[in-house]
Amino acid sequence: MTSGLLDGPFGDAVLTEPAGVPRGRAMLERAEWAARAFARYDAATVDRILSAAAAAGAAHADEFARRAVEETGFGVAEHKRLKNLACSTGLLEAYAGHDFVSVRVDHEAKIVEIPRPAGVVLALTPSTNPVATVYFKILLALMTRNAVVVCPHPLARSVCADAARIMAEAAVAAGAPDGCVQWVDEPSVPLLNALMSDERTDVVVATGGVQVVRAAYRSGNPAIGVGPGNVPVLVDATADLAAAARRIVDSKSFDNSVLCTNESVLVVEEACADTLVTALRRAGAHLLTEDERDRVRDLLFPGGVFDTSCVGRDAVTLAGRAGVRVPAGTRVLLAPFDLVVPEEPLAREKLCPVLGLVRVPTVRSGIDTARAVLRISGAGHSAAVHSTDPATILAFGAAVRVLRVSVNTGASLGGSGLETNLAPTMTIGTGFFGRSSVGENLEPRHLVNHTRLAWNADPGVGMPDVAAATGSAWAPPTGPVPAYPHASNTAEAADVLRAAVAGAAAAPREPVTAESADLREEVRRMVVAELRRIVEG
């Protein structure tokens, strides 16, 4: 006897399922079919699909950059255009020559590795870097022969849907399986939760706020979730201060600080602080007075809580809102404060061009301060250091609880691998420090497992030459995937009909009346049309 109204696995939950969930589940089911087919594709076809999707993304980089700014109000269109290019054709270049498809043979170890895609990737994308992240996750999925369902942040849903659509269309036109790229048009929290915990989801790749990321991990499905950043940047007296200042301002103002790798709190050694501030001002930063600082703090953190309407706004706009007069062309607001403690809002992540400024007496105390920034939030994420002293740089790297440190370069594009040789990414793994399963920049290999064929290690036991057989593991599709369901007799009947049509035209067997001649002609035309459809279809 069941206790609820409805028995079976769905139970009474059937009656309370939020809107959009059934459709979302249908997407996952379709994605599963696509993933099955895709997992058998060969490397050359995958390359072709990838190039087509990336080219489509690049072709729309500018349009979608502008639309993203319009839709979300965040960021700088020109910078978004650069990111869109970096995450489309740029990503392709970065992974040129990499192959996540082919079977690899290690004769020495007597191990053969067969790439096995995850299957269905549920990709959660943020409002701050909407299109670039959509591009990034789709291309990663395509590189590794995964199907992907994009679930964009509601604030950016329209442009993200179009971004996913153009890549999907290009991919399918290049031979990808139908439904290998899908997107949710009407994202919502209940829908997201349902999709994350659905058994058809093979891995959740979550980029977004803490709550979304924690929910991904709670879903019961494998998840790659990445936490928020709160990036400390240390400048010591040995640094090239002019260059450091320029790089920090460029990075902090890039896309109005919406990259989660952007600098949050600048920690500077007292001995060089004044020089650095002068250089920062020359580069476009405005040093706030104590009164101005308080007004900006109140603007950003009314009642101590971050006001998301400040995300991605430019420095002049923010200053105006705070009632602070700044020179035209100001790119960054420098907000000095004394102590990095949890009750200081300016020590938290600020996804806008307001940079905390803390002076410290020594490098040692600077490192401690950087650790304090990361105690508040951003553990496992990113930091930066500007110094020419290897000891300082190493001490900093060994002490701060992050997994990537940009050295003598801006943190925004450094940590995300666009200005360093880290893997270019829109998704930063925060590792064990940040309660994440991945500690590196997300890259294609995170979406693929390998079946390892392992021979007996005993040197006496031989291993055949399997290299020749590896090519047959995967194959290009023979037509559209899936094939259109033509009636099974159409192909075979085509031959018969061809003969029949030819025969009928040559020798009508019965006396022909005008009426039946018309009908015959009509039938003949239909048959010919049908044949053409079969032959061309």
Partner 1 sequence: MTDSTGAAGAGEQVSAAAEQLGFSSKADVLAKSQEFWNPGKTRFWMGTGVDLVIDRREGYYLYDMSGRRLIDVHLNGGTYNLGHRNPEVVRAVTAAMGHFDIGNHHFPSMARTALAEALVRSAPPGLTKVVYGSGGGEAIDIALKTARHVTKKRKIVSIIKAYHGHTGLAVATGDERFSELFLADRPEEFPHVPFNDLAAMEEALRGRDVAAVIMETIPATYGFPLPEPGYLEAVKALCEQYDALYIADEVQTGLMRTGELWGITKHGIAPDILVTGKGISGGMYPIAAVLLSERCAGWLTEDGFGHISTFGGAELGCIAALKALEICSRPETRSMVHYISDAVGRGLRDIQDTYPDWFVGIRQNGVVMGLEFDHPQGATYVMRRLYEGGVWAIFSTLDPRVLQYKPGILLSADQCEELLMRTATAIGRARDDAARDGWRGGSPARRTTAVPAAAAVPPAASGVSADADGAFVTTRNGRRVPVRTTVPVRKAVTR
- Residues designated catalytic: 260
Q: How far is the CB of 196 from partner 1 (least distance, A)?
A: 18
Q: How far is the CB of 536 from partner 1 (least distance, A)?
A: 14
**Token match 């290299």: residue?**
467
What is the rounded distance in angstroms from the CA atom of residue 531 to the CA atom of residue 116? 40
Applying CB under 8 A, which part among 385-393, 420-428, 430-438, 520-528 lies near partner 1? Answer: 520-528
Dihedral class, residue 192 (left if φ above 0, else alpha if ψ from -120 to 50, else beta): alpha
3-state secondary structure of 147: strand
- The binder of partner 1 chosen from 44, 189, 483, 535 (CB under 8 A): 483
Residue with Cβ nearer partner 1 (2 or 421)? 2
Q: Which of residues 36-55 bind partner 1 (CB under 8 A)?
A: 36-37
531 part of the interface to partner 1, by CB under 8 A:
yes
What is the rounded distance in angstroms from the CA atom of residue 76 to the CA atom of residue 90? 19
- The binder of partner 1 chosen from 469, 517, 523, 535 (CB under 8 A): 523
CB within 8 Å of 118: residues ≥ 6 apart: 144, 146, 202, 203, 222, 447, 448, 449
SS (H, E, C) 15-70: HHCCCCHHHHHHHHHHHHHHHHHHCCCCHHHHHHHHHHHHHHHHHCHHHHHHHHHH
**Token match 């020798």: residue?**
507
Residue with Cβ nearer partner 1 (463 or 504)? 504
493 part of the interface to partner 1, by CB under 8 A:
yes
Q: Which of residues 180-239 bind partner 1 (CB under 8 A)?
A: 182
- The binder of partner 1 chosen from 178, 240, 307, 368 (CB under 8 A): 178
161 part of the interface to partner 1, by CB under 8 A:
no
SS (H, E, C) 255-301: HHHCCCCCEEEEEEEHHHHHHHHHHHHHCCEEECCHHHHHHHHHHHC
Residue with Cβ nearer partner 1 (36 or 246)? 36
Q: Which of residues 337-396 bind partner 1 (CB under 8 A)?
A: none
Q: How far is the CB of 482 from partner 1 (least distance, A)?
A: 4
Angle formed at CA 24 by CA 445 and CA 7, multiple of 5 degrees: 115
Applying CB under 8 A, which part among 106-114, 241-249, 289-297, 494-502 lies near partner 1? Answer: 494-502
Residue 399's CB is within 10 A of a number of other CB atoms, namely 14
Rounded to 5 degrees, φ, ψ at 162 are: -70, -35
- The binder of partner 1 chosen from 488, 506, 507, 514 (CB under 8 A): 488
Residue with Cβ nearer partner 1 (317 or 516)? 516
Binding site for partner 1 (CB under 8 A): 1-2, 5-10, 14-15, 17, 22-23, 26-27, 29-30, 32-34, 36-37, 178-179, 182, 481-494, 496-497, 515-516, 518-519, 522-523, 526-527, 530-531, 534
